Amino acid sequence: MNHDTYSDIYIREILNGVKTIAMVGASPVNVRPSYFAFKYLAERGYDMIPINPGQVGKALVGKPFVASLKDIDRPVDMVDIFRNSAAAEAIVDDALAMSPLPKIIWMQLGVRNDAAAAKAEAAGLKVVMNRCPKIEYGRLSSEISWMGVNSRTLSSKRAPIPTGSFQRMSLNRSSISGGHTGAADRAAQDKPDQA
């Protein structure tokens, strides 16, 4: 598979198909990217498992930390690697020792290890590298597209706030926090049409 680019269909199938995600390298520090990604995905209904050996005995948004993939007591659909590229191969080896096997190996932004990806794919797993599931979820569900992030166009002109028949593309997930953007919706209602 070409890991330089992924189709929206491929990413959407993964995000719709997984239920349980083990995040290796999750951090309880609320300014770390792994914290934001973990919390966001948990709020979207995914069963999140934080993995960090230095945090065992603590919890991240109510989910208890475990030391490694070997310590998980239930099946996992996706292993999200929030560690550096050099660590990815050992994590994939641990994932391939799990029973049952996870379906997906996802390597976060900046993480790419082609040897690890080849091992996972040889075992029948799907692989995503150098992407963030939080960003992809937001992009594909249109939670962030109203700001122009998903427009595929660079411009200094602010995009108009969506009104009327604007609909988000569903990822078939419900949000614990409601999953809607109240502020954006209120702003769209308050702003007069500019025809």
Structure confidence by residue, pLDDT tens digits, 68-121: 999 999 999 999 999 999 999 999 999 999 999 999 999 999 999 999 999 999
- Main-chain phi, psi angles of 83, to 5 degrees: -130, 175
Alpha-carbon span 183 to 142, nearest angstrom = 15
Measured in whole angstroms, how far is the alpha carbon of residue 134 from the centre of its chain?
Answer: 4
pLDDT at 141: 84
The DSSP call for residue 146 is: G
C-beta separation of 24 from 89 below 8 A: no
Task: State the amino acid at position 133 in one-letter form.
Answer: P
Which residue spans within 25-161 are E strands per DSSP? 47-51, 59-60, 63-64, 78-81, 104-107, 126-128
Instruction: Find the mean pLDDT for residues 155-182.
Output: 50
Long-range contacts of 179-183 (CB under 8 A, 24+ apart): 179/44, 179/143, 181/143, 181/146
Residue 154 has pLDDT above 60, yes or no: no
H or E, element range at 143 = none
pLDDT at 168: 44
Alpha-carbon span 15 to 22, nearest angstrom = 14
pLDDT at 159: 54
Instruction: Find the mean pLDDT for residues 153-166.
Output: 52
pTM of this structure:
0.76
Give alpha helix (H) positions in the chain: 8-17, 33-43, 85-96, 114-122, 133-140, 182-190
Least confident of 98-107, 110-119, 135-144, 169-178: 169-178
Q: How confident is the model at residue 139 (pLDDT cuts 50, 70, 90)?
A: confident
Residue 54 has pLDDT above 50, yes or no: yes
Least confident of 39-43, 110-114, 161-165: 161-165
Instruction: Find the mean pLDDT for residues 8-18.
Output: 96
pLDDT at 71: 96
Burial of 81 by CB count in 10 Å (0-12 exposed, 13-18 middle, 19+ buried)? buried
C-beta separation of 138 from 5 below 8 A: no
Alpha-carbon span 23 to 48, nearest angstrom = 7
Taking the CA atoms of 61, 62, 66 and 69 in sequence, report the sign of the dihedral they define.
negative
Instruction: Find the mean pLDDT for residues 49-66.
Output: 97
Residue 171 has pLDDT above 80, yes or no: no
